[in-house]
Amino acid sequence: MNIQTRTKLVKDAAYKLGFEYVGIAKAEKMEEEAKHLEEWLNKGMHGKMQYMENHFEKRIDPTKLVEGAKSVVTLMYNYFPEEKQEDTTAPKIAKYAYGKDYHFVIKHKLKTLLQTIEEEIGEVNGRCFVDSAPVLERDWAKRTGVGWIGKNTLLINPKQGSFFFLAELIIDLELEVDGPIKDYCGRCTRCIDACPTEAISSEGYILDGSKCISYFTIELKEALPDEYKGKFEDWMFGCDICQDVCPWNRFSKKHNEPEFDPHTDLLKMKKEDWEEITKDVFQKVFRKSAVKRTKFEGLKRNIDFLKE
């Protein structure tokens, strides 16, 4: 089987599993990206996310994750919901967390994809990654041309915006590589202007993670800093502000993944329901959700922080 046929087989199998966009890059050490990551870490922009400092070499070199790796396959999976929370005054949850935890949903699809490749091509050494390993997913996505990294530091696809999960398959199979595309942010500064905690630098393209609402509401395990009181704009888990204001997200389309549909109670809950939420309700509504990561106590802390 020649390289073109192999590449087509991999992409077709991914599209069949529901991935919207697939791009391929050569598995090699990321020299330029390594410098940027080091600078970002040295400035302490990762806050209390100590894990970002770990496995530096693995983050910048895919061959340290998969021996003999030749290709990094980037896959994009849409999660944009059709419906929103009904009570506009209620504490808000980032759209990606409406349904079942994406780690499980997408990891299952990636394993199926790897299995299909092995069935059609033969034994392949590879690993699947979904946001839980030392992989610079946005940088790989940028290299493959499935989008560009916007001023809000998120990957933006010119046809469908940024409401996507990114995943990677690192394999020891040589495939045809794709090239990067142009940055279409232009002079737009909507994401920079809209961020209430000024987490995005004034020039864009650098995010101070230690100031991001998503960091505060998900990653930070200690008390929320008083200096940010009144600046969360009702976000209790994650934040979509810089995506909601992005002009490219006018092209977002409803996802086709039933697993990402929210629990029937989630969108109906009113402000008072959230403020009086019990552990039982939390367990019922978020039984298989990514929101479980912050635990009941963490979500309560966030909701209490939003109160006047």
Catalytic machinery residues: 131
Nearest one of 79, 86, 91 to 249, comparing CA atoms: 79
183: its two tokens: 């940055």
237: its two tokens: 């888990």
Are 180 and 78 contacting, i.e. CB atoms less than 8 angstroms apart? no
Residue with tokens 């919901």: 81
Strand 155-156 to 164-171 pairing: unpaired
User: For the chain, how many helices (H) and strands (E)?
Assistant: 11, 8
Long-range contacts made by residues 142-145, C-beta under 8 angstroms, separation at least 24?
A: 142/180, 143/23, 143/25, 143/72, 143/74, 143/180, 144/23, 144/24, 144/25, 144/72, 144/74, 144/177, 144/178, 144/180, 145/23, 145/178, 145/179, 145/180, 145/181
Are 176 and 10 contacting, i.e. CB atoms less than 8 angstroms apart? no
Q: What is the 3-state secondary structure (H, E, C) of 196-210?
A: CCCCECCCCCCECHH
Are 98 and 181 contacting, i.e. CB atoms less than 8 angstroms apart? no
- Helix, strand, or coil here: 71? strand
CA–CA separation, 31 vs 10, rounded Å? 27
Element (H, E) at 148: strand 148-149
